[in-house]
């Protein structure tokens, strides 16, 4: 080998070789504190560390010994204890030491009414991509159910020959999928990730005879697992516990559907939502498969005019009345009564319902009727859905809905981005079962009948101190030229809180140059006035002087379930898929 070739190989090997991760200074200090004079952590030492630093007060010495036994391959001392290397290896194992406790499982009370829970909710669950021209399929429905989504939305239309039912995004270029195929896939995959109930929300554009056909399909497909209380509205929603492994249908009963359709036809296209961000180009009119233009398109619920009076007489209803079988399938009644928002948000002591608002409608309603929304959601269900201009299947800030008690914050699961990361973070809670109990302050009123005000500046309940020590795994999960062509990456981390307005903040570490295993050793403090709604956001990026910084991973964690102490935090891709090796070593303390 020539000297020149050897020099080039040495240079590349130097630039792209993987440095051995060393324990951060604080980890070494803790090891010295919890080890004997020979540098060994015995079972007694390990238990002391777990109790005092990790706040695992109930841990036994036998469990501490099990940790030692699990790492004996790294230590010549075998059963005697852990040396520094094996102690560091244990802390940095996301399988053995994750930030959320895998042993907790479903640990919240599941015996309250459905209205007492945030529910993992999909929007246009059948779309494979964008809202305009992607295929309709049961595949995204299956993927959503496998990830724990509990509310699946289906838009149902007559097929081209008007003798069967398709699922598609109406008045767009999306290609249809047969309803029966979607129903069968829901049955097959409904409970693979969670045994708690799946709600199917139907956007119904059918004639009465096809509604009867849908009733037959649903009944034959789901059989005994279908929860069908009859045609009358429920006086109170059942609990998730009582509805385990059950399917629930939610839509407008036929009469309410006709009212909405009447209003739609009167005010078609009267209120347009302005495209935003990178979607400006979608303002052009495009021919539609089902008449009109794409610029006319809105979901049927987008076009419900809250202030319109309806004067359709009962004779017209009777002529268009759907089958009794279809009506009896509807367990959660949806719809908007005439009389405006104030009328919609009235709480009926004798019945419960589901109300739907677009993200824009919710934002406006929160300004003028915030307290009424929270009172409404204590008994009733509020569904929030993306505005019609989100053609690229983007999403909105879910905290706006959650702060006001909205149970069904509906998201485009086929997209990705920070909003979806927050949604995924929320539903890591409660064992990932798709139901998260709402905080008590969203379920109760005060002594003077007051309710929670998300805009109020409240006193700090607790402060979360986060230390981000280091990260590793990119060398194994990314091509070695992914970040920089000729040198190791320059990583920095962003750490912050998504929550009520006064708690929301984002901070940033320094960049560590030319290192596949960056050590930041930085500490951040986050005062929290409403920790019950706080999500910890973590992102890693690679600094690029001349171009946009490269993405290096993210995660979002529910603060109320964070384990105190030093934890290994796995990171996820933009699409929410867990990396095999990329993880951070972090410490969480509540002070």
Question: Does 538 share its domain with 576?
Answer: yes
Asked if 184 contacts 225 with a C-beta cutoff of 8 angstroms, the reply is no
The domain total for the chain is 3
Asked if 523 contacts 466 with a C-beta cutoff of 8 angstroms, the reply is yes
- Residue 107 known to be catalytic: no
- Residue 169 known to be catalytic: yes
Question: Does 129 share its domain with 255?
Answer: yes
Q: Which of 71, 169, 297, 404 is catalytic?
A: 169
Q: Which of 45, 71, 123, 297 is catalytic?
A: 123
Question: Does 146 share its domain with 295?
Answer: yes
Residue ranges of alpha helices (H) inside 252-340 are 254-266, 314-320, 324-329
Q: What is the pLDDT of residue 239?
A: 98
Q: Does the residue 237 lie in any domain?
A: yes
How many other C-beta atoms are found inside a 10 Å radius of the C-beta of residue 322?
22
Q: Does the residue 509 lie in any domain?
A: yes
Q: What is the pLDDT of residue 261?
A: 54
Question: Does 467 share its domain with 418?
Answer: no
Q: Does the residue 6 lie in any domain?
A: no
Percent helix, strand and coil across the chain, each rounded to 5? 30, 25, 45
Catalogue the E-assigned strands of 17-135.
117-119, 121-122
Residue with the two structure tokens 């190791």 = 488
Predicted TM-score (pTM) of this structure: 0.87
Catalogue the E-assigned strands of 376-503.
381-385, 408-411, 435-437, 462-472, 491-498
CATH number of the domain where residue 553 is located: 2.60.40.150
Mean pLDDT per block of 10 residues along the chain (591 residues) reads: 43 49 92 95 96 96 93 65 94 93 94 98 97 96 98 97 96 95 98 98 94 96 93 88 98 67 51 34 32 37 37 44 80 85 93 96 95 97 96 96 98 93 98 98 90 93 98 94 90 98 97 96 98 98 89 98 98 96 98 93
Q: Does the residue 191 lie in any domain?
A: yes
Structural domain boundaries, residue 49: 17-91
């Amino acid at each position: 080998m020539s000297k020149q070739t050897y020099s080039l190989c040495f240079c590349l090997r130097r630039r792209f070789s993987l440095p051995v991760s060393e324990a951060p200074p604080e980890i070494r200090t803790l090891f010295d504190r919890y080890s004997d004079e020979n540098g060994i952590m015995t079972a007694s030492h390990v238990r002391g560390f777990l109790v005092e630093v990790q706040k695992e007060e109930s841990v036994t010495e036998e469990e501490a010994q099990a940790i030692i036994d699990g790492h004996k391959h790294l230590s010549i001392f075998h059963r005697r204890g852990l040396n520094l290397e094996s102690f560091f290896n244990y802390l940095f194992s996301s399988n053995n030491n994750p930030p959320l406790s895998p042993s907790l499982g479903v640990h919240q009370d599941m015996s309250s009414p459905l209205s007492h829970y945030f529910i993992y909710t999909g929007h246009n669950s059948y779309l494979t991509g964008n809202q305009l021209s992607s295929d309709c399929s049961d595949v995204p429905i299956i993927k959503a159910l496998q990830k724990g989504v509990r509310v699946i939305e289906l838009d149902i239309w007559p097929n081209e020959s008007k003798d069967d039912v398709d699922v598609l995004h109406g008045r767009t270029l999306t290609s249809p999928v047969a309803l029966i195929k979607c129903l069968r896939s829901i049955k097959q995959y409904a409970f693979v990730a969670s045994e708690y109930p799946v709600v199917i929300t139907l956007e119904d554009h059918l004639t009465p005879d096809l509604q009867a056909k849908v009733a037959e399909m649903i009944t034959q497909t789901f059989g005994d697992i279908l929860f069908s209380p009859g045609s009358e509205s429920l006086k109170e929603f059942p609990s998730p516990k009582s509805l385990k492994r059950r399917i629930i249908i939610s839509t407008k009963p036929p009469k309410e559907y006709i009212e909405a359709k009447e209003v739609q036809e009167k005010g078609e296209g009267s209120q347009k939502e302005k495209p935003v961000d990178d979607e400006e180009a979608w303002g052009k009119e495009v021919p539609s498969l089902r008449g009109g233009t794409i610029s006319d398109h809105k979901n049927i619920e987008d076009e419900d005019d809250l202030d319109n009076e309806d004067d359709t007489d009962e004779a017209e209803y009777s002529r268009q009345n759907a089958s009794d079988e279809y009506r009896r399938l509807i367990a959660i009644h949806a719809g908007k009564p005439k009389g405006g928002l104030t009328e919609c948000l009235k709480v009926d002591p004798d019945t419960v319902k589901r109300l739907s608002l677009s993200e824009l409608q919710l934002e406006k309603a929160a300004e003028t009727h915030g307290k009424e929304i929270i009172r409404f959601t204590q008994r009733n269900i509020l569904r929030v859905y993306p505005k019609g201009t989100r053609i690229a299947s983007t999403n909105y800030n879910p905290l706006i809905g959650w702060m006001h008690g909205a149970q069904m914050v509906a998201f485009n699961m086929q997209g990705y981005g920070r909003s979806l990361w927050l949604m995924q973070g929320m539903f890591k809670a409660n064992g990932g079962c798709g139901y998260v109990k709402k905080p008590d302050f969203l379920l109760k009123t005060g002594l003077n009948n007051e309710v929670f005000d998300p805009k109020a500046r409240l006193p700090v309940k607790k402060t979360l101190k986060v230390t981000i020590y280091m990260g590793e795994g990119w060398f194994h999960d990314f091509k070695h030229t992914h970040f920089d062509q000729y040198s190791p990456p320059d990583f920095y981390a962003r750490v912050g809180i998504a929550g009520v307005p006064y708690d929301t903040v984002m901070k940033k570490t320094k960049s560590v140059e030319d290192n596949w295993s960056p050590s930041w050793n930085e500490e951040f403090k986050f005062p929290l006035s409403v920790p019950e709604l706080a999500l910890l956001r973590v992102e890693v990026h690679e600094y690029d002087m001349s171009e946009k910084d490269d993405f290096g991973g993210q995660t979002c964690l529910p603060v109320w379930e964070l384990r105190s102490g030093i934890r290994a935090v796995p990171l996820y891709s933009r699409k929410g898929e867990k990396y095999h090796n990329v993880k951070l070593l972090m410490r969480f303390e509540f002070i």
